[in-house]
Chains A and B, each alone.
Chain A
Amino acid sequence: DGGITQSPKYLFRKEGQNVTLSCEQNLNHDAMYWYRQDPGQGLRLIYYSQIVNDFQKGDIAEGYSVSREKKESFPLTVTSAQKNPTAFYLCASSIAPSGGLGYTGELFFGEGSRLTVL
């Protein structure tokens, strides 16, 4: 089945450690996104990528890094510079917006990764 796979589902990290969350999609989507979800908060955009080898900062990029070396993969690294990393992280993908109309396509989400800093 086509979809988005995030791993690991649960992750524990000690303070000062970097950790990488995996996101893989087989939907042949060009665009991929990372969101952070905190209790009582909406989804906040960390990074997004419209095409391979290109990515842009979202609203809360500080302390995070990404790469997009392959169309199907968009890993997120939570660095030690992220001051409050404990959260639920969601990866999503969509078809790329078409030009002119700024078409907005449906976001397809993975099941998330819950990171806890000990």
Chain B
Amino acid sequence: GENVEQHPSTLSVQEGDSAVIKCTYSDSASNYFPWYKQELGKGPQLIIDIRSNVGEKKDQRIAVTLNKTAKHFSLHITETQPEDSAVYFCAASPRGGGSNYKLTFGKGTLLTVNP
């Protein structure tokens, strides 16, 4: 099955700096890569996703890059703000072929943005 490795497990940055979280996956059939943000005491929420037919996707201060050859993808947050502090999860999902899909999550990165 799919294995998703996520690094680092914790990341501390100063407000205004950039933050980068990296994930690698093992199954070359994976073609969907979402990122979820989980604030303290809440459920995760999708913040951005990318499919294997594109290499980069941006949404305001957040961007995700994908390297299918190397089987890794990264989340980039620019101009970080204290409200970006949360746990971030990457995930990968293979093509389902008409049946249900299955997301494999990384173990998460606790991002702390210091004012």
Interface residue ranges, A against B (CB under 8 Å): 4, 31, 40-45, 48, 50, 56, 90, 92, 97, 99-104, 106-107, 109-112
Residues A106 and B46 in contact in the complex (CB < 8 Å), given A42-B89, A42-B107, A42-B108: yes
A40 touches B9 (CB 8 A): yes
* Residue pair A56, B95 in contact (C-beta under 8 Å): no
Contact A102 B103 (CB under 8 A): no
Contact B102 A45, beta carbon cutoff 8 Å:
yes
Which of B56-115 touch A at CB < 8 Å? 89, 93-108
Closest Cβ neighbor of B6 among chain A residues: A42
Contact of B43 among A42, A45, A48, A90 (CB under 8 A): A90
Given contacts A42-B105, A97-B98, A109-B45, 12 further A-B contacts (CB under 8 A): A40-B107, A42-B106, A92-B43, A99-B98, A100-B97, A101-B96, A102-B94, A103-B96, A103-B101, A104-B32, A106-B34, A112-B41
User: Would you list 10 pairs from A and B whose C-beta atoms are within 8 A, ordered by A residue?
Assistant: A31-B100, A42-B107, A97-B96, A99-B98, A101-B95, A102-B99, A102-B101, A104-B32, A104-B103, A106-B49
Closest CB of chain A to B29's CB: distance in Å? 10
B-side residues, CB < 8 A to A, are 4, 6, 9, 32, 34, 36, 41-46, 49, 89, 93-108
Task: List chain A residues, Cβ under 8 A from B104.
Answer: 42
Q: How many angstroms between the C-alpha atoms of A92 and B105 in the bound complex?
A: 14
Q: Which among B6, B34, B41, B103 has the highest number of chain A CB atoms within 10 Å?
A: B103
> Judging by beta carbons under 8 Å apart, are B4 and A42 in contact?
yes
Contact B97 A102 (CB under 8 A): yes
Cα A104 to Cα B107 in complex, Å, equals 20
User: Which chain B residues lie closer than 8 Å to A31 at the CB level?
Assistant: 100
CA distance A72 to B6 in the complex (A): 33
- Which residue of chain A is the closest to B10 with respect to CB atoms? A40
Per the bound structure, the CA–CA distance linking A58 and B90 in Å amounts to 19
**CA A104 to CA B102, docked complex, whole Å:** 8
Residue of chain B at shortest CB distance from A35: B105
The answer to whether A102 and B44 touch (CB under 8 A), given A43-B105, A107-B103, is no
Q: Select the residue from B42, B101, B106 with max chain A CB neighbours within 10 A.
A: B101
Q: Whole-angstrom distance from the CB of B15 to the nearest CB of chain A?
A: 26
